[in-house]
């Protein structure tokens, strides 16, 4: 990918512009570059469905001390080395993603924005086609036509697992249920190269049970990304006892390469974040059941009182109420602690098919922007 240079003031841009924003002279197009991030700011583009399509304006400094302003579709941090455009051939790895739900789409968007070759596998052709269409809509908000076409050439989307043989790493992100995950992981491993790593994005299912169905559990671990994967910095990295030290190191290094912050956690029910979050969501639902306040008022109180960026009820809608209930049920089963038992209102909404943003209705109506 090219970058554009102003020969008057020396400013450089990693996206197409006709004239310099500083001195209003014509820019010259040059070849791709790279540098170290010395400053970055996030810009969110409002869109339908209460989603944001963020991009990141970063100031890079290259080896000769000159600066370059770039627009990126992935988050970066100060001190991180960034290559503008697609990485060199030697830096590329091929990453597989299993699943076309919220996390599957989010992971593919993150990987494509970071320049990786991606093999995307869904359970049916209609589901992969619909997910691909949604992905193009989101990437189209932060990439120009040329860059988008370039990235799409690096995407192999379908329903066959044969393409996983080309992958260096495969991330499973299907429904948060134990038996389906076991089957997909088992079949995926059979299609992969012997030296490739297989990871699950589970939010807290027992990793030892997932590893038990694999022939090479030493090359298996967990990369728990958070929704939306393109924006959330944290990745909980966990593994069963059978995972090799080399696999753990490679999983952490991969998360860092994406600009994420890997935090190693023990393989415990729901790991750390969801273990703490679920009781908070439950108590917010209890307050709503008892009519202590409206959903909006409860969320506003938590945002302001606890300095959270999002209230627990709107966060539950973002996660998916069905996923929240599954996590809570799993916690009750594995810990025996009734504090995690889903509140009746949660079960009622899920039973009615009101699962949050993905169905346009949960605790909030997401069919139109809220005031």
Q: Which two tokens stand for residue 83?
A: 């290559």
Q: Is 176 a catalytic residue?
A: no
Q: Residue 146 region, left (φ>0) first, then alpha (ψ -120 to 50), else beta?
A: alpha
Choosing from 172, 236, 252, 314, the catalytic residue is 236
Q: Is 33 a catalytic residue?
A: no
Choosing from 201, 203, 267, 330, the catalytic residue is 203
Side-by-side strand order, sheet with 117-121: 155-158, 117-121, 94-98, 169-172, 197-200, 220-225, 234-238, 261-264
Alpha-carbon span 313 to 361, nearest angstrom: 12
Specify which residues 82 forms β-bridges with.
35
Alpha helices in 162-240 (DSSP H): 178-191, 207-211
**Sign, Cα dihedral of 99, 146, 1, 43:** negative
Q: Is 274 a catalytic residue?
A: yes
Choosing from 238, 274, 282, 330, the catalytic residue is 274
Alpha-carbon span 74 to 359, nearest angstrom: 26
Residue of 241, 192, 196, 243 lying closest to 220 (CA atoms): 243
Residue of 212, 158, 223, 157 lying closest to 186 (CA atoms): 212
Choosing from 3, 224, 354, 366, the catalytic residue is 224
Distances (CA, A) of 318 to 18, 27, 311, 313, 359: 39, 42, 11, 9, 11
Q: Which residue has the tokens 């209230």?
A: 311
Q: Is 165 a catalytic residue?
A: no
Distances (CA, A) of 171 to 20, 81, 99, 184, 201: 42, 24, 9, 11, 7
Is 97:120 a contact under the CB 8 Å cutoff?
A: yes
3-state secondary structure of 21: coil
Radius of gyration of the chain (CA): 22
**Sign, Cα dihedral of 300, 304, 305, 309:** positive
Residues recognised as catalytic? 203, 224, 236, 274
């Amino acid at each position: 990918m090219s970058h554009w240079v102003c020969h008057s003031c020396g400013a450089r841009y990693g996206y197409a512009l006709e004239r310099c924003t500083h001195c209003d002279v014509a820019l010259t197009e040059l070849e791709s570059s790279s540098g170290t991030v010395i400053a970055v700011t996030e810009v969110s583009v409002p869109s339908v469905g209460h989603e944001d399509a963020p991009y990141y304006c970063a100031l890079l400094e290259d080896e000769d001390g000159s600066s370059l302003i770039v627009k990126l579709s992935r988050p970066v941090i100060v001190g991180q080395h960034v290559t503008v455009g697609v990485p060199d051939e030697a830096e590329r790895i091929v990453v597989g993603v299993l699943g076309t739900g919220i996390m599957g789409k989010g992971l593919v968007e993150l990987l494509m924005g970071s320049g990786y070759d991606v093999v995307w596998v869904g359970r049916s052709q209609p589901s992969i086609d619909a997910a691909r269409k949604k992905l193009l809509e989101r990437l189209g908000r932060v990439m120009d036509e040329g860059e988008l076409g370039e990235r799409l050439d690096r995407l192999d989307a379908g329903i066959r697992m044969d393409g996983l043989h080309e992958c260096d790493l495969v991330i499973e992100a299907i429904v948060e249920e134990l038996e389906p995950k076991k089957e997909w992981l088992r079949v995926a491993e059979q299609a992969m190269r012997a030296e490739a790593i297989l990871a699950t994005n589970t939010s807290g299912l027992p990793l030892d049970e997932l590893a038990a169905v694999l022939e090479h559990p030493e090359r298996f671990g967990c990369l728990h990304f958070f929704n939306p994967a393109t924006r959330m910095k944290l990745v909980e990295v966990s593994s069963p006892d059978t995972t090799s030290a080399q696999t753990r190191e490679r999983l952490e290094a991969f998360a860092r390469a994406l600009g994420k912050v890997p935090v190693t956690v023990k393989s415990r029910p729901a790991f750390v974040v969801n273990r703490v979050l679920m009781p908070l969501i439950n108590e917010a639902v209890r307050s709503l059941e008892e009519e202590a306040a409206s959903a909006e008022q409860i969320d506003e109180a938590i945002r302001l009182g606890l300095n959270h960026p999002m209230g627990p009820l709107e966060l539950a809608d973002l996660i998916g109420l069905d996923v929240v209930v599954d996590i809570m049920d799993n916690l009750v089963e594995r810990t025996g602690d009734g504090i995690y038992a889903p509140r009746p209102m949660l079960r009622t909404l899920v039973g009615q098919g009101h699962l949050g943003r993905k169905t346009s209705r949960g605790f909030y109506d997401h069919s139109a922007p809220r005031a």
